[in-house]
Structure 1
Amino acid sequence: TTSRIEEVAASFEGFAGERHSGLVTASDVRYRKQYDKGTAIRNTRQVSMLSVEDLQQIAENLQVERVEPDWLGANLVVSGIPRFTEVPPSSRLLFTSGASLVVDNENQPCRYPADVVDRHFPGAGARFVAAARNLRGTVGWVEREGHIRVGDKIALHIPPQRIYDAGL
């Protein structure tokens, strides 16, 4: 779990004091097809981002009154960006301070938050992975340093999208 704060310093290494910060990380199960476990790779998962709207949908899917972002280990919660989990890779979130974050990928549901959900709503944790599918937010990294504050406006820049056709 995480705890709520009003402001965070975003540096090129991530959010100050956060356990996922760092320019480099050890590869894990997410990269098993590319690297041996523990291989040093660029950290593109410095920040875990969720939306208020996706959290509400997860709660509705679970048939519980709420799901809190800190239960899921979120570093940043946004609102007003429809279907935030679907924001494509390489999109930029530019904040009032000038700080910017780059979306790397969708954050896949995992078992760890399910245990926290289950502590608050016994029995709901077993349904968490299915309930949170395509709603778990995104992960990304800091592109430009700055402070991010609760209530900051966010400009979302989405790069041109095209479907890759390998001719298969």
Structure 2
Amino acid sequence: MPDLLTKLPFQGTVECLLLNPDRKSGLEKQMVQESRLLFSGIEGDCHGGLTRKSDSRMLKQFKRGTLVRNARQLSILSTEELAEVANAMGILHVKPDWVGANLVTRGIPDLTLLPPSTRLQFPSGAMIVVDIENLPCRYPADIIEKHHPEQTAGFVKAAKHKRGVVGWVEAEGTIRKGDAITIWVPPLRPYPHA
């Protein structure tokens, strides 16, 4: 069977890495120089785990609190899209630690539009599978408003299709600030019955 993924002709770069070991301390995360990717997610991050409880994003499929596969082990954003969101909000910047990012990239155009099942591969052999777009929500909006009460547009509206993606670990390894990111995309075709 042929490999169905296509390697893109450019690479991204790991701009920064963040984690938060305690979900109770809030959405904000701290920057680190490297992260160890395990099958359960980023070592030491509160969003890790092979499973999680379903939440408001899944109410059409499951009763809230149903145990499901954790396809939201980490949140990936781009410096370019964060700058676009800040510009749309009329503020100087939106820091990645305000919006719950684990991995911030540079050089991947329209990161949020990467299709599901895209693979992000790192020099160590670590691989992340993109699950889906991470929709903007009120939690980071509240944090940004604390830092920038003068904003001219809300985060939820400004970050539409620019909030990054969530994903899960397919191959373990260490990722470091400055690492190259190789991007593998699946075949793109519309589903005519949707």
TM-score range, shorter chain: over 0.9
More helix by share: 1
Opposite residue 110 of structure 2, the aligned amino acid is R
Cα distance between partner residues in 1 of 2:78 and 2:102:
11
Corresponding residue for 1:10?
37
Residue 69 of structure 2 is matched in structure 1 by: 42
1:163 match: 190
Alignment partner of 2:49 out of 15, 22, 30: 22
| Aligned residue identity for 2:90 | Q
SS at match of 2:32: coil
Q: Which amino acid counterpart does residue 111 of structure 2 have in structure 1?
A: F
Aligned residues: 167
Deviation at 1:119, TM superposition (A): 1.2
User: TM-score, normalised on structure 2?
Assistant: 0.84
- CA distance in 2 between counterparts of 1:120 and 1:153 reads 32
Runs of 4+ in 1 over 3 A off after TM superposition: none
Residues 88, 153 of structure 2: 8 Å contact kept: no
Q: What is the CA distance between 1:124 and its match in structure 2?
A: 2.6
- Take 1:163 and 1:27, find their aligned partners in 2: how far apart are those partners? 27
CA distance in 1, matches of 2:29, 2:67: 25
Aligned match of 1:121:
148
Q: Give the counterpart letter for 1:52 in structure 2.
A: T
2:161 corresponds to 1:107? no
- 1:17 shift after superposition: 1.0
Letter in 2 for 1:96: P
Distance 2:31 2:188 in 1: 34
Aligned to 1:78: 105
Could you list the runs of 5+ residues in structure 2 that have no partner in the other structure? Answer: 1-27
Instruction: Note the residue ranges of structure 1 that are not aligned, 5 or more in a row.
Output: none
Give the partner amino acid of 1:45. R
Cα distance in 2 for partners of 1:124, 1:137 equals 21
Q: Secondary structure at the match of 1:60?
A: helix
**Does the CA contact (< 8 Å) of 1:59 and 1:66 recur in 2?**
yes
Contact 2:115/2:185 (8 A) holds in 1: yes
| Distance (whole Å) between structure 2 residues aligned to residue 97 and residue 138 of structure 1 | 22
TM-superposed deviation, 1:125: 8.6
> Which amino acid letter does the alignment assign opposite residue 69 of structure 1?
P
The letter for the 2-side match of 1:95 is F
Q: TM-score, normalised by structure 1?
A: 0.97
Q: Deviations over 1:61-113 (max 9, x none)?
A: 00111110000010000110000000000000000111000000000000000
Query: Residue in 2 aligned with 1:56?
Result: 83
